[in-house]
A and B are shown apart, each in its own frame.
Chain A
Amino acid sequence: MSAQFATFFVADLFFGVEVLRVQEVLRFQQMTRVPRAPDVIEGLINLRGQIVTAVDMRRRLGLPAREGDQTPMNMVVRTDEGAVSLLVDEIGDVLDVEETVYERPPDNLDPAARELIRGVYKLKDRLLLVLDAERTVDLAVGKVA
């Protein structure tokens, strides 16, 4: 059994989501900020007439902010709540990975990240973290009081 993942980078982490979940990938879009919104919400973008909420993955994972002029990329994923854009540092390739190298995430992972990572594929040169898109866009998950 193998699965296909669209991959991306957030800080030094290498993530993947099921390729069928990905609606499209866009470079950085102009965004409308939403005052009083949760911190992880970067803003709203107009995706051909559809209003899509953008979630900053760095903040979602409790990572430090992007440096200086580095603009994030939009990875628009389909979820039960409609399309949501994940703001990531960089887009990677689409990878075919074997089930055999799959493992549950380690227990000592940072709680902010563990809630959102479904498992780990041990690739030859690096680890591919499988992002749980549904939980990622459900802001109630992994909320640290």
Chain B
Amino acid sequence: MQDQEVIREFLVESYENLSRLDQEIVELEKHPKDTVLLGSIFRTFHTIKGTCGFLAFNTLERVTHQAETLLSQLRDGERELRPALVSLILETVDATRKVLASVEATGEEGSEQFGDLTARLRAAAQAKDQFEAAAPVAVEPPHGNGSAEASEKKPEEDAAKSSAVADSNIRVGVGLLDKLMDLVGELVLTRNQILQYNNDREDAALNATSQRLNLITSELQEGVMKTRMQPIGMVWNKLPRVVRDMAVALGKQIRLEMDGAETELDRTIIEAIKDPLVHLVRNSCDHGIETPEARVRAGKPAEGRLTLRAFHEGGQVNIEIGDDGKGIDVARVKQKAVDKGLVRQDQLDRLSDREILNLVFLPGFSTAETITNVSGRGVGMDVVKSHIEKIGGVVDLFSRPGEGATVKIKIPLTLAIIPGLVITSGNQRSKPRFGAGTGERFVIPQVSLVELIRLENQVANSQIERIHGTPVYRRRGSLLPIAYLNDILDLVPSRESTVVNIVVLQAEDRQFGLVVDGINDTQEIVVKPLGKQLKGIDVYAGATIMGDGRVALILDVLGVGQRSGVLSESREQARSSTEQKSQAGSEQQRLLLFRAGSFERLAVPLSLVARLEEFPQSAIEHAGGGQVVQYRQRILPLVSLRAVLEPGGSAGGELADPVQVIVFNDGDRSLGVMVDQILDVAEETVTIRQKTNRAGMLGSGVVGKQVADFLDLNYVIRAASADWFQANGSQPSAGKRILVAESSAFSRGLIRSGLDMEGYHVLEAANLEEVIRGLEQHAVDVVVTALDLPPDGSAAVLDAIRRRPEWRGIPVLALADSPEQVAEQVNHRAGQQVEFQDCQVKFDRGAMLESVARLASALDLAETHSDELVGAGDRS
């Protein structure tokens, strides 16, 4: 197959050269001294001779070699050009043509040896001076000696026949082809515009014309695409050599089998897969196929087999690189992945074998134990994957231990013009005057499209259910993660609708549903790149021009999936971004800002504040050694914050009248804290935190671009009324150890301070890893964890705890940000296998403390009746 390709190229090139030779030789007769011409003729013979030697066309090689010798003498001025010599050279040209014709027809040189011509050429070259004499004889034979070959009599006819290949092939610059493709792209877009224009009109003539235009454009597009198609064999040609060299270098025996080398691909894609292919083949030779001894020991033939397959399937090209080597050792992949810190052990346990195999595509992974100079530098597979994905392809790895491994690649036929699904989503929010007002159009490449789902009626929205806030849809019994395009792109839904359109997309080996506002139709689109200013936005693959002449953005399905978090494939990335999100989420606090004494800016979470009040100085009374005020038919104890924070400091004069008071509630008791001035309520992401050692402060942070000190409410309360907490009970669980898992240092401090007050020993953990470490190092009685604990939420904490028998009995209290989240948790409990013992709102201190106390004492019970352990889960 590949030989034929080479021979074809040789024929095309040689015919071109020969027709030029005819002209040049005739020209040479007129200007015998023209060394440039002579040089050119010489080179032509030289080239043909060289190629013939390579392709083992011995006869032609012999003939052209003699002509070359003769020409070199002429070129070097060793002799003069005579007409007889010219004839001899022309005769050689004819002979060459004849051989080429035979090669073209049969693949062989033919039986004729041209012994006579060769002899005369040799004689002419040797006998420089006597040649003139021999000339008449020399010129005669081709015509007189006609009996030798009948066909030799009609050289013209011969030439006409032999030029079949030359005439049907022309060389065209790649640049021209690319330009043609661009133009066809433009034509396709213009066609789309005309078709749309036609659809809006009822003009029979226009209709007929545009239909014709449609057909012709499609045909032209197909035709031009074909001009750019090249067989994949072009890339495979160099692989036998690669395999051979590798086999020799590694002391292995490898046979390369290639199937489907004629499979055609767009040349841009051929370019793109060249390097990945070579890399994969090297990988198979190096890591896949064993040494002959090892193979024999395993009961396999000593010679390893490497198979390349290529075939078209469903508008895509499949390429498979397989070997019958030892396969990929899943256990070793696991080990490596953990060693290199690419995944954590607990993550591995949740992966299927196939997912584990695909870990080798992670950056920085290399399974080779020793780094050889042939492969295994650890930069390979991830680069292969990214190269393939860049051209819209997919890579998959299959392995059977002991039987070999196969890499399957699926790539599109072409990149320039692709079918796409046009959808609309969102509304023009910020700039209504610029848009059409109906929503933005986007194009989704058809290649990623799996199916369309339309949910109607009132039940439409309720059919999308939520797990821990994550939307999913039950599709034929299995859960499909759902993402909303409007959320991803920050768009406002175009209207409240009872219809939900789900576009099911395939990205990598996962599927997810993308909810869009409307589904229009499919179109052939021309992918155009975005400007540099927009390159960084991963949700777009490019842009195209629609039928109405406006620009529409093409969605990058992979980017969309990753951004929305429905694809967990690039786990590292996804995790770090959710980590940031949850971090940000928990730090996003509504804070009450106020002033007291020398503290210009104090803050407490608004969730702790019951209400804000103002009392006239005159209403404040003294009772029981403290200040109180009558408030809602009760007596509210008051404490001056200034006095608590700066005891003895008399500074600042009197409090204002009326006095501003922050009321804190705990159960049925309240405390009023008098402050100088209430400043503001800020909803803020606390950016900088700094622990302070100052009594009464949790730390400081930047709130609204200014530094604020976070008040330790417990300190204030303790200072105000020593019996505040004692009434709560007799410290039922003193001495118990509580582990508080919360990513935000601020929230953790708040939770901790409450527990500290109750006499618990408190351990802190900022993430799952620290939780596990804490549990390993200490005997913990109760775990208190935030629902959004990084990296994977509180469910992972539960998983980790329930997996270890010695931890299984530890009750877990989950803390949610809002009562809604608590309700959600309670609702979901019924169906879950593992569950929290309790769930409370994060800043509802009373409920939290009560729950901890109950769980801690429940543990006491459980310890005595260990078989009732499970029952503890049903509590609350």
Contacts and interface: CB of A to CB of B under 8 A. Distances in A.
B433 interface: yes
Nearest to B539: A36
B534 A53 contact: yes
B537 A34 contact: yes
B532 interface: yes
Interface in A51-87: 51-53, 55, 69, 71, 81-82, 84
Interface stretch (A3-11, A15-23, A37-45): A37-45
Contacts of A128: none
B54 interface: no
Contacts of A137: 531-533
A81 B552 contact: no
Interface stretch (B60-68, B321-329, B543-551): B543-551
B392 interface: no
A106 interface: no
A115 B434 CA distance: 29
Interface string B673-693: 000000000000000000000
B435 interface: yes
Contacts of B428: 33
B550 A36 contact: no
Most buried by A among B431, B533, B549: B533
B490 A35 contact: yes
Given A46-B550, A46-B551, A81-B533, 11 more contacts: A30-B436, A30-B550, A36-B489, A36-B490, A37-B537, A41-B534, A42-B434, A43-B551, A49-B545, A55-B533, A138-B532
Given A37-B537, A51-B543, A82-B531, A44 B551 contact: yes
A22 B435 CA distance: 26
Most buried by B among A31, A35, A43, A49: A35
Interface of B: 186, 189, 426, 428, 431, 433-436, 440, 489-491, 528, 530-534, 537, 539-540, 543, 545, 549-553
Given A34-B553, A46-B545, A46-B550, A41 B489 contact: no
Contact of B530 (A35, A36, A38, A51): A51
B547 to A, nearest CB: 12
A139 interface: yes
Nearest to A82: B531
Range, interface on chain A: 20 to 34
Contacts of B534: 34, 37, 41, 53
Interface of A: 30-38, 41-46, 49, 51-53, 55, 69, 71, 81-82, 84, 137-139
Contacts of A71: 433
Contact of B532 (A42, A45, A51, A81): A81
Contacts of B489: 35-36
Contacts of B537: 34, 36-37
B186 A33 contact: no
A53 B440 contact: no
A87 to B, nearest CB: 11
Contacts of B552: 32
A90 to B, nearest CB: 18
Most buried by A among B428, B433, B440, B545: B545
Contacts of B539: 36
Contacts of A30: 434, 436, 550
Q: List the 3 closest A-B pairs by CB distance, nearest first.
A: A35-B489, A53-B531, A32-B551
B325 to A, nearest CB: 46
Contacts of A36: 489-490, 537, 539
27 contacts: A30-B436, A31-B551, A32-B440, A32-B553, A33-B428, A33-B440, A34-B537, A35-B440, A35-B489, A35-B491, A36-B490, A36-B537, A36-B539, A37-B537, A38-B533, A43-B434, A44-B530, A45-B551, A49-B545, A51-B528, A51-B545, A51-B551, A53-B534, A81-B531, A81-B532, A84-B533, A137-B533
A126 to B, nearest CB: 30
Contacts of A51: 528, 530-531, 543, 545, 551
A65 to B, nearest CB: 10
Given A46-B545, A55-B533, A82-B531, A35 B426 contact: yes
Contacts of A53: 530-531, 533-534
Most buried by A among B435, B436, B532: B532
A50 to B, nearest CB: 8
A142 B112 CA distance: 78
Most buried by A among B189, B434, B531: B531
Nearest to B435: A33
Contacts of A32: 440, 543, 550-553
Nearest to B544: A51
